[in-house]
Structure 1
């Protein structure tokens, strides 16, 4: 006969065993209690300013175009492929250019034969003139023919080089090491000089491009520093990081339609490794210093629409919802509401949420 769970709970042996496990669990929890570092939320000086959305761009990005006419015979790469400088990306039907090369080679051979004939005639005429058998006019005519043959040979050689150059244009190559961003033609499409075939870019260096409203241009130019929010390196506790560009350039004219001024911010290679062209980033123009309550970004707990921090209370922690403001990078995240004066905030909300967690000394 099977006993119900209720009967088992009321059996004396089971009750004693349950109490023993509870006591052991209490002892284990006390032994496993962890101390969580806390910081005191006080106003501190942070920089103010404005933030705008920007886009990551490759400093080196090229649209490779055709330099010869003909059908695209083959497309040897696709979007996302890595390429090396000089690597063949596509070929264009070269039957016409091959014919031109053969014709130029034949013209060079004919010009060299004419030059040899003219040279021999000039040398023979010079000998006869020295013996007085021909007139000076005959020698001058032979010399003129010889020089004309030399010019004809030089012209044929130049034509052969031009034909070889046109033949080389049927092989479209990568201008530098990089990646194929997109292909704009397929095999069989007609290629003409100037028609875009592919877009390639170099993975480094990168820059952030931001459109600043013309009305805020003076504020942006007077900023004490400019920062770009990028993905943090692998293994970092924070998901993002604010970095300072290595150089910045504001275009001298505003866009007549959007009334914005383009700023180009070159990024340090080490910090930009996690970014890719086309990715959206935040750009901050930092101004004067003001007093704001901030907490470390790692102290903020985000669960869906909930934004909260663990605040020390007695020997434990309580969860308080907060309303956040601007992210000030290394200084922390601004807290607009939800914290009282001198609240002690846990820097590790995951450990603070464990049973028996205790606050360590404030720092």
Structure 2
């Protein structure tokens, strides 16, 4: 009896073990099938909006041109000024002393020039009468030319000193507004030190930084508009009168700066530094795109799984603009014949293989 029960228990254990092995083998041989899509190029127009900032076309950083203490600041930030209006005064006592010194040197140089001229004329007369040699005449002529050069140099020093005295009174070069003052009365002004910033309220332009991947899409044949407020505080889109696209890209942000000159009649509600919206409408072009769900991102790594002979292969890709429902543009890393896994997480599992019937590009869209 006991022996029969033991044998029965052993049979049950063997049956359970065989069932477990069979179940494990079933899971082991069950493949992980992942749906794929063929890389396709679609006709997509690059339509997008970016934030921009208003900038004055005419803006000047007014700096000191002489050294001296600022004795008076006649304006403050936000003031409206006219061309030629006095902005600040720099103590010119040192400059005036330099001008007086230059004038004294000019008087001395003119006296030396007169003496040299008289000596030259006398020597020329004596040489013609045979009382002095030709060498003496040459010496007198050289002394006269040296005195003439000294007079010219002293005269230039006087003009320079007079000009420096004019620099002590800093005036506005054109009509505009003071946006910032960077000095106060009592500060020491030195040549090249910025004192204030002046800008003209018109014309204005919008500055926008366009990603490099989108610049070519809207550069030729595209339309650009800027959203600006009008006098009733409502907003409307205006077309720039001209645009300037810088030739160099920012190496860090990978953007290219666009300067959009705005119509004069549409800038009355704008001020420099104000944020605006810029709308780009590009022409349609063939672009290779993939669904956003197919992209695997790990830190700075951007990759997709591509179907291969032994399953899936991870490929690094460089992506462009995200066109939303149309997909993300692929700039580099894929070939037209590549089949991309729509689920990169499942494609990365061991034993994953492409589904027998790949999805079409239309059915893969969200």
Q: Same fold (TM over 0.5)?
A: yes
Distance 2:114 2:82 in 1: 46
| 1:86, distance to aligned residue in structure 2 (A) | 3.0
Alignment of 1:105-184 (within 5 A): 105-184=103-182
For the pair 1:54 / 2:52, whether they are aligned, the reply is yes
Name the SS of the counterpart of 1:158 in structure 2: helix
Distance 2:202 2:272 in 1: 10
Distance 2:49 2:195 in 1: 37
Structure 2: stretches of 5+ with no match in the other structure: 1-44, 285-366
Name the SS of the counterpart of 2:163 in structure 1: helix
- The equivalent of 2:95 in structure 1 is 97
Change (3 A) 1:131 1:48: closer
- In 1, are the aligned partners of 2:46 and 2:218 still within 8 Å (CA)? no
**Structure 1 residue corresponding to 2:189, chosen from 191, 195, 201:** 191
Alignment of 1:10-25 (within 5 A): none
| 1:48, distance to aligned residue in structure 2 (A) | 8.0
Distance 2:254 2:59 in 1: 26
Distance 1:270 1:285 in 2: 22
Q: Deviations over 1:273-320 (max 9, x none)?
A: 22111111111112469xxxxxxxxxxxxxxxxxxxxxxxxxxxxxxx
- The equivalent of 1:273 in structure 2 is 268
The two structures have a TM-score, normalised by structure 2, of 0.62
- In 2, are the aligned partners of 1:223 and 1:285 still within 8 Å (CA)? no
Across the aligned residues of Structure 1 and Structure 2, the Cα RMSD in angstroms comes to: 2.0
Distance 1:75 1:160 in 2: 28
**Structure 2 residue corresponding to 1:73, chosen from 68, 71, 74:** 71
- In 2, are the aligned partners of 1:206 and 1:266 still within 8 Å (CA)? yes
- In 2, are the aligned partners of 1:85 and 1:173 still within 8 Å (CA)? yes
For the pair 1:253 / 2:251, whether they are aligned, the reply is no
Distance 1:88 1:132 in 2: 66
Distance 2:229 2:248 in 1: 31
For the pair 1:244 / 2:205, whether they are aligned, the reply is no
Return the index of the structure with the highest Cα Rg.
Answer: 2
Distance 2:283 2:135 in 1: 92
Name the SS of the counterpart of 1:185 in structure 2: coil
- The equivalent of 2:203 in structure 1 is 205
Name the SS of the counterpart of 1:270 in structure 2: helix
- In 2, are the aligned partners of 1:247 and 1:267 still within 8 Å (CA)? yes
The two structures have a TM-score, normalised by structure 1, of 0.62
Count of aligned pairs: 240
The runs of at least 4 consecutive aligned structure 1 residues that moved more than 4 Å come to none
Distance 2:55 2:221 in 1: 23
Q: Deviations over 1:316-360 (max 9, x none)?
A: xxxxxxxxxxxxxxxxxxxxxxxxxxxxxxxxxxxxxxxxxxxxx
- In 1, are the aligned partners of 2:217 and 2:283 still within 8 Å (CA)? no
